[in-house]
Amino acid sequence: MSLGTWSRPALGQTAQLGALYDARSDTFIRRSLFKDAIPEGSVNMKHLNSTTVSNGDARTFKDKCNQLGIDAELGASILANLVPAEGCAQYLAADRADIVGHTFLRYTVTTVEQELNLAAKGIRESLAFSTLDNDTATHVVVGVRWGGKYIICPESTSGPRVRDNIQEDMDSVMHQLGCLLQTSDEDEDETDKTMSAPEKQQQESASHKLLIFGDALPDGPSTYITATASGAESFARGIRPLVSSTGDVKGTPIMYTLMPLSLLAFFRLLDVNVDLTVHQSNPECLEKLMQHLDDNQAARTVLERYVSRCRRYPRVVPLDHVRSINTQIRVSEAVDMGLEQELADTLKAVRSGKAKPDGVGHLLRSFQGRGPSPARLSSMASLTGKIDFAKEIILEGSEYVGFGSCGLDTLLARNRHDDTYVLYFNDQMRQESGLWKDTFMLLLELLRDDNKEKMVVVIDCDAIGQSLEKPYISQLRHRRLFIEDLLEHRKVLAANCVMRYQAGNLDTSLTSKPLQRRAVRIPCPHSSCAGTLCCNWICHLCQSPVEYGYVDDRIYCDCGATPFDRWHFKCNDPAHGTGWVGYDREALLARLKALEPFEELNILILGETGVGKSTWINAFVNYLTYGSLDDAIQTGDLKCLIPCSFSTQLKDPSDPQGRFVQKDIKIGKSQHEHDGARGQSATQCTSVYTVDVGKTRVRLIDTPGIGDTKGLAQDNQNMADILRVLRTYDKLHGIMILLKPNAARLTVMFRFCVKQLLTQLHKNAANNIVFGFTNTRGSNYKPGDTFKPLEALLTEYKQVKMGLFEHNVYCFDSESFRYLAAQQKGIDMGFLEDNTRSWEYSVSESKRLLKHIQGLTPHQVRSTINLNETRDMIVKLTEPMTLIAQSIQTSIAINNDQIKQLRNTELSRTELEKSLYVQRETVESYDVGEPRTVCTHSDCVEVRNDFAGRDETVVIYKTMCHKPCFLGAQVKRNQKGDPQLRGCHAMDGDGFCRACGHNYMDHMHIYYDYRSLTYRHENQTVSQELIKNASDIDLQQKAIELKKTAIEEFKLEHTQVQEAAIQFGFFLKRHAIEPYNDATVEYVEYLIHQEKMKIKSGGKKETLAMLQKYRAEHLEKVQALTKAMERGDADSVLDDQGVRQLVDSLYGLPHFGEDLKRIVRTNEKAAEATFREKSCNVSAGRHWDRDGRARTRRSESVRGQPDQPARTRRTSTAAHAAAAQAAHTGHMMTMMPPNGQTGISVAVRGYQPQPPVPSGFFWFPGARRRLRDFWPFSG
């Protein structure tokens, strides 16, 4: 502050000459320098009667202060609320949300200027005191300028929607108003001067309003006026009269002149005995303070306007987003309020000399970082572009499915039109996808096309929680998916040769296609097209490659089957034009018959869960398509058949310390497949991916991983699924077992997985087995640490010669594929040269693999199918046969006891007549419903006589620890201590039961249980005449004879059951690669354990003795049969047909056959499962034949494929209608490969149709596109 006099704007505050002022707090004190009135002649008055009009632009608080003549110190006091903002100063505190733009008009009227003459006569005598001995005040008012000051700025009552568009209009309004005020001042007599009618009409129609802040207002300085443009004009014309009617015609104070009290001592008017020095703050600190608060306020204002916009689009913006912004705004306001509160004390301390000049800077630094920064606040308005997009398309007539809105199903139900176009997008895709511009333009084209009635829907995938690979528009017809990706559909049709079948000729009733199909590669029949150039033809609807069924003269595509002569053609030659042309029937048939068939090469891919099997298949397909990593990157078309996910760690470029951050990369999507994250197997059901290499069609049969995270039961279901797929093929040319190269020891899981794989294969398949190793870059493209344990394991198989040789070991590295996948997501993992070499090596290994498998004798799939079907049947019979054998022994023992009783006991005639029967003990199984977790610990079971009162003990499970248990098939049934039981709800984190307290090892799952039954068979050959006339001795002998006969028959059936169990075991030993595991012995051991518990509770030892005898006899016969096999006695072991005959003979046993059959059926019913199959095809690139094999003429002269194609999905209404009635439905799709190769056809079979689309859509991994609900072909 100046050491002399200085001027201070009045800002609506009223003070008289002589009033005291404290510059340390910038406040007027309610005391005067004079004790009474100011002496006459001591006030000089000057009449000015002037006006000033100026337009300006104020964007910040500092700009506003400059326009009002407020210096930094006074501005800081206003911020600290030391100075109330009244009069025109209310402009400083006006909410920015109420002001449109930054334009303002300043209008100042000056009427009178008063000045106190301290040298006038009588001044000293009029002073209220002669000595100043306190520091209450620092200055005195020695001058006042009167008049009125006004600030006019625009406001729009239409809200932020108009605000963005009216800045230019408001500038014009303010300019016109300024001219009016200026003219009115220059010519006061021209009272009818107004804004022109067009200008006024324009402003009124726009609903523009103006805010008027001023010192002299009708309702006082603490208010402001809101008026329209015309109202502001009228008010402006009345400003001069308003000022003249205020303050004795002078108006109100608009400026004060202040003099330091210390200068009064200089004039010898006052003795000053205190230090009245006022210290100034550091100007830079004040500048930074204003800038800081202004930046925060500006950011909050923008954000508040953004929130206001968000509230008008609740379907576009999630409520949590608005809530989080409001929270941050409140935090920012609270921090700034705290700063302003502390600023008041800091300013006083600095001005009083109690704090350093940079005290304000220190205060500012202490508050920085407490709240969100302006940059952080600004960044929160992240959905502005999305709101703009939604606003535009809604105005164009689109429906928007977003947060809290009705779903697509509801909109479709209300739709009156046949066609619906649906855009799927999320905000990330809108901002980042290279396809967005074309997709958006296509959307606008659809919205603005009035030629056809339709509904257009935009689905916000952020709102419905659906992940998205890219934005795309689907076409639905009659609520069914018709075209999956309309933009790509158009591109593909423009770049390919297309065939169209005649309406009404499509057959959709078939559930499969003939295996002998040939891709239609024939010239276009148009006269203007090259008659010798073969084209790759696709269907105009489903866009799948068109194939000729050689055996039935039909043409097949994903739509269905159509007679070969019901098609028309249109190639992509510009000379063809837009018309469709047909072939002569005989000429077309001749060309179709001349098509060359594909050779088949079927490869089964097996591997442990987590080995990277799905990633390897994805990589393998890309190795076929691209000869180098550079080609793959340049093409930009990643082939992803199975969803994959992996993580990589990269340095954060924004972190100066180079902190590592993890990036998760996901590619592909499917309803059935997981992405391999969180330890789950990526492949959940068997799929077939077909690659055309020259004239060879290579089928990669992808299988779920062995050692699945869902348990042994899932492994068994997976194997059944594999066998179901294999049934559709006659030959299996190769079996690849994928392994990791870093398994240094024979871990339990390692051994189990390899053994489990080999158990499923017929030994004839041993020569077709090859071993593939993934991620071998770290082991120099060799098997690495896995070599030794694998070699040791293979030596255990004596019946077949298996080892690790150059011809059956293949080392790949999928890291180069991961590098490519990361590149597609915009992430550079580095080490380009290493990945380039890895890609080249993997391509060479892929070629070597196919060449080797082509040279092998194919394995007949029927052998492995028979083996596994027979194994399944044997497994189901093992437990029931053991129980039946035990029942037979019990029946024999009971009848022997009864014979002894007849011989040794004197019985009455009535008792003898009642003994003419044969007693048969048996068992039956019954389904317990949902699986139950029971405890088998001795404390939790009760051994007692059964409720029927028979002399027999049974085991009762007293503790049902979890009923039902929803682990279901994950737990092996009726097996104690299954590891999966740790996941039962009854178990705590340590594996102990919450219900009974015992370890999970004492628990088991039961799906069914057994109960004993007793039958008494009376001999019908014993006539009533014999009973009436025979002697007691005759009756006794007849009863003994009946029982002896039954005992012999029981023994015979027991021998048959026992020998059948052994024969079944040796069948598996002879035909499977993996040595036979005698399941009969395992189950007998379980029954022996049960009987031992019964004996502890008072049970009889006879049953235990019988079981131990049965086990000994079984082992003895096993040894005998083993020796027979070693002698080469082939007749001792059954073949496939012999097993089935033996099963039939067991079911035909006179006494126990039907019991055995019923038990097996009940057990099968308690563990039913369903399976499903799908398949997909792609083609090899041209690089595949560069290593010496001649490229076929067909691949050199084929037209019709784009360089970077993309396939879309399209179906017909008729196809959907027929498919809904099919017993076995499926899914199909097609992708076109590069450079004139055969395309991809995808099929899914065995999937039951869901309710109408869209709720039933799912994603298929290979195409990363949504398929329709069902399709009636299996491919």
Measure the CA–CA gap between 293 and 300, rounded to whole angstroms: 11
- What pLDDT score was predicted for residue 947? 37
Contact 582, 568 (CB under 8 A): yes
Beta bridge partners of residue 225, listed in sequence order = 212
Q: In what order do the strands lie in the sheet with 560-563?
A: 517-519, 547-549, 554-557, 560-563
Measure the CA–CA gap between 481 and 1244, rounded to whole angstroms: 17
- What pLDDT score was predicted for residue 1025? 53
Taking CA atoms, 303 is separated from 61, 96, 147, 321, 380, in Å, by 18, 11, 39, 12, 8
List, in sequence order, the alpha helices (H) in 475-584. 486-495
Q: Which amino acid is at 923?
A: V
Q: 268 Cβ partners below 8 Å, 6+ apart?
A: none
User: Residue 1251 above 50 pLDDT?
Assistant: no
Please count the residues of the chain: 1275
H/E segment holding residue 29: strand 27-32
Task: Classify residue 382 by burial, with Cβ atoms within 10 Å: 0-12, 13-18, 19+.
Answer: middle
Q: 983 Cβ partners below 8 Å, 6+ apart?
A: 967, 970
* Residue 872: band (very low, low, confident or very high) from pLDDT cuts 50, 70, 90: low
Measure the CA–CA gap between 707 and 739, rounded to whole angstroms: 13
- What pLDDT score was predicted for residue 19? 93
User: Residue 3 above 80 pLDDT?
Assistant: no
Measure the CA–CA gap between 236 and 179, rounded to whole angstroms: 11
First CA to last CA distance, the chain: 91
| Chain segment 284-334, per-residue pLDDT in tens | 999 999 999 989 988 998 999 999 999 999 999 999 999 999 999 999 999
Indicate the SS3 state at residue 32.
strand
- What pLDDT score was predicted for residue 1164? 55
Return the minimum-mean-pLDDT range out of 102-111, 221-230, 267-276, 1061-1070: 1061-1070
Q: C-alpha angle with apex 233: 232 to 234, nearest 5 degrees? A: 90
Buried b (16+ CB within 10 A) or exposed e, 960-979: bbbeebebbbbbbbbebebe
| Chain segment 1084-1124, per-residue pLDDT in tens | 676 677 777 777 666 667 777 777 776 776 666 556 555 55
Q: C-alpha angle with apex 150: 149 to 153, nearest 5 degrees? A: 155
Measure the CA–CA gap between 794 and 1119, rounded to whole angstroms: 25
Measure the CA–CA gap between 1134 and 1063, rounded to whole angstroms: 7
Segment 699-705 mean pLDDT: 82
- What pLDDT score was predicted for residue 912? 66
List, in sequence order, the alpha helices (H) in 1181-1258. 1193-1196, 1213-1219
Measure the CA–CA gap between 814 and 612, rounded to whole angstroms: 8
Measure the CA–CA gap between 172 and 101, rounded to whole angstroms: 12
Give the position of tokens 């001219």.
179
Task: Name the residue among 770, 610, 761 with its Cα closest to residue 674.
Answer: 610
Contact 537, 497 (CB under 8 A): yes
Measure the CA–CA gap between 181 and 136, rounded to whole angstroms: 44
- What pLDDT score was predicted for residue 684? 58
Task: Name the residue among 302, 356, 292, 363 with its Cα closest to residue 328.
Answer: 302
Measure the CA–CA gap between 187 and 206, rounded to whole angstroms: 30
- What pLDDT score was predicted for residue 1274? 30
Task: Name the residue among 1156, 1136, 1020 with its Cα closest to residue 1070.
Answer: 1136
Measure the CA–CA gap between 754 and 606, rounded to whole angstroms: 10
Give the position of tokens 């108003």.
177
* Residue 221: band (very low, low, confident or very high) from pLDDT cuts 50, 70, 90: low
Give the position of tokens 């028309």.
568
Give the position of tokens 């050199």.
1196
Give the Cβ contact number of residue 9 at 10 Å.
23
* Residue 1216: band (very low, low, confident or very high) from pLDDT cuts 50, 70, 90: very low
* Residue 386: band (very low, low, confident or very high) from pLDDT cuts 50, 70, 90: very high
Taking CA atoms, 277 is separated from 356, 467, 1156, in Å, by 14, 69, 114
List, in sequence order, the alpha helices (H) in 782-858. 787-794, 815-824, 832-854
* Residue 191: band (very low, low, confident or very high) from pLDDT cuts 50, 70, 90: very low
Taking CA atoms, 41 is separated from 38, 244, 463, 581, in Å, by 9, 24, 80, 113
- What pLDDT score was predicted for residue 1264? 30
Rounded to two decimals, the pTM is 0.53
- What pLDDT score was predicted for residue 1206? 36
User: Residue 1200 above 50 pLDDT?
Assistant: no
Q: 1025 Cβ partners below 8 Å, 6+ apart?
A: none
Segment 1203-1230 mean pLDDT: 34
Give the Cβ contact number of residue 574 at 10 Å.
8
Contact 539, 1232 (CB under 8 A): no
Task: Classify residue 719 by burial, with Cβ atoms within 10 Å: 0-12, 13-18, 19+.
Answer: buried
Q: Which domains does the chain have, with CATH numbers?
A: 6-278 (no CATH), 286-379 (no CATH), 388-477 (3.40.30.10), 599-643+672-861 (3.40.50.300), 862-916+1019-1151 (no CATH), 927-1010 (no CATH)
User: Residue 1233 above 60 pLDDT?
Assistant: no
H/E segment holding residue 6: strand 6-9
DSSP letter (8 states) at residue 247: T
- What pLDDT score was predicted for residue 282? 93
Q: Is 1179 left (phi over 0), alpha (psi -120 to 50) or beta?
A: beta
Taking CA atoms, 54 is separated from 108, 175, 189, 232, 935, in Å, by 9, 9, 22, 16, 93
Segment 584-611 mean pLDDT: 86
- What pLDDT score was predicted for residue 387? 95
Segment 1031-1039 mean pLDDT: 73
Give the Cβ contact number of residue 468 at 10 Å.
18
Pick the most confident of 994-1003, 1007-1016, 1061-1070.
994-1003
| Chain segment 547-583, per-residue pLDDT in tens | 898 888 899 987 889 999 999 999 988 888 888 999 9
Residue 73 CA, distance from chain mean position: 57
| Mean pLDDT of all residues belonging to the chain | 76
- What pLDDT score was predicted for residue 843? 92
List, in sequence order, the alpha helices (H) in 918-1031. 1024-1029
Task: Please state whether the peptide bond connecting residue 1254 to the residue before it is cis, i.e. omega within 30 degrees of 0.
Answer: yes
Indicate the SS3 state at residue 1158.
helix
From the CA atom positions of the chain, what is the Rg in Å?
A: 47
What percentage of the chain has pLDDT greater than the value 90? 22
Pick the most confident of 642-656, 978-992, 1122-1136.
978-992
Measure the CA–CA gap between 332 and 337, rounded to whole angstroms: 9
The DSSP code sequence of 386-400 is HHHHHHHHHHTT-EE
Task: Name the residue among 285, 134, 259, 155 with its Cα closest to residue 207.
Answer: 155
Return the minimum-mean-pLDDT range out of 134-138, 410-414, 949-953, 1169-1173: 1169-1173
Q: 654 Cβ partners below 8 Å, 6+ apart?
A: none
Segment 645-651 mean pLDDT: 82
Contact 549, 597 (CB under 8 A): no
Segment 881-894 mean pLDDT: 77
- What pLDDT score was predicted for residue 1184? 63
Task: Please state whether the peptide bond connecting residue 858 to the residue before it is cis, i.e. omega within 30 degrees of 0.
Answer: no
Task: Name the residue among 261, 286, 211 with its Cα closest to residue 33.
Answer: 261
Measure the CA–CA gap between 86 and 108, rounded to whole angstroms: 16
Measure the CA–CA gap between 84 and 13, rounded to whole angstroms: 8
User: Residue 938 above 70 pLDDT?
Assistant: yes
Q: Which two tokens stand for residue 871?
A: 């194994």
Indicate the SS3 state at residue 170.
helix
Decide which of 835 and 955 is more confident: 835
- What pLDDT score was predicted for residue 179? 78
Measure the CA–CA gap between 185 and 669, rounded to whole angstroms: 75
Measure the CA–CA gap between 38 and 123, rounded to whole angstroms: 8
Measure the CA–CA gap between 750 and 970, rounded to whole angstroms: 20
User: Residue 1257 above 60 pLDDT?
Assistant: no
Handedness of CA 776, 780, 782, 785 (dihedral sign): negative
Indicate the SS3 state at residue 687.
strand
- What pLDDT score was predicted for residue 132? 74
* Residue 1150: band (very low, low, confident or very high) from pLDDT cuts 50, 70, 90: confident
* Residue 1062: band (very low, low, confident or very high) from pLDDT cuts 50, 70, 90: confident
What percentage of the chain has pLDDT greater than the value 70? 72
Segment 51-59 mean pLDDT: 84
Pick the most confident of 309-323, 917-931, 996-1010, 1145-1159.
309-323
| Chain segment 733-761, per-residue pLDDT in tens | 999 988 888 876 655 555 665 666 666 77
